[in-house]
Amino acid sequence: MKIKVGFGYDVHKLGEGEELWIGGLHVPHSKGSIGHSDGDVLIHAICDALLGAANLRDIGFHFPDTSSHYKGIDSKILLRRTVELIKEKGYEISNIDSSVCLEKPKLKDLIPEMQALLAKVMEIDPEDIAIKATTSEKLGFVGAQEGVTAYASVLIQKPCK
C-alpha cells in the first residue's frame, strides 16, 4: 500500500453582508467570506491537502481565481472534482483532520452536519473526517473578526503495483 500525507491551508477576509460558507454549510452570521468562489475556507484547505498529497499542485492551479467559470462557484463542486482527480491517480482517501479558526460564530453545533455533508461529497465515511473549531483568543486578524482560516491534513492511499 502506498500512503501519502497532504497539508492544506486557506484564509479569507470577512466582510459585512457577505455569506459565510464553511464545510459546505451556510453559516448564519453578519459577516461572510470574501472570495472568488463561495469562500469556503474549510473545503479549500481540504482540496489543497488532497491535491498536495497526490502531487497534483494546488487549488489555484486547477480552479484559478482568474477564471470567470469559478466566480461564485459552490466549493462542493471543487471538492468533488478534486476527489475525482486523486482517484484518477489511483488514490482513495483514508482520513482527513481539519481545524477552522474563527472568532464568531461558534461552529461546534454545526460540525456533525458538516461531516455528513462532506462525507457525501467525497463518498467516504463521516467517521473519517475530523473537524475542529477554535478561536484565536481575540488575537490577530481572526481575533479581530476580520478573517477566517482553515487547516487540513489528509492521508491518501493506493495499492502498490
Binding residue numbers: 10-12, 36-37, 44, 58-60, 134-137, 141
Q: Are 109 and 76 in contact (CB under 8 A)?
A: no
Angstrom distance (rounded) from CA 149 to CA 98? 11
Angstrom distance (rounded) from CA 146 to CA 121? 29
- Whether residue 105 has a cis bond before it, omega within 30° of 0: yes
Binding-site residues for a divalent metal cation: 10, 12, 44
Nine cell digits for residue 15: 466582510
In what helix (H) or strand (E) does residue 92 lie, and over which residues does it extend?
A: strand 92-101
Nine cell digits for residue 55: 502531487
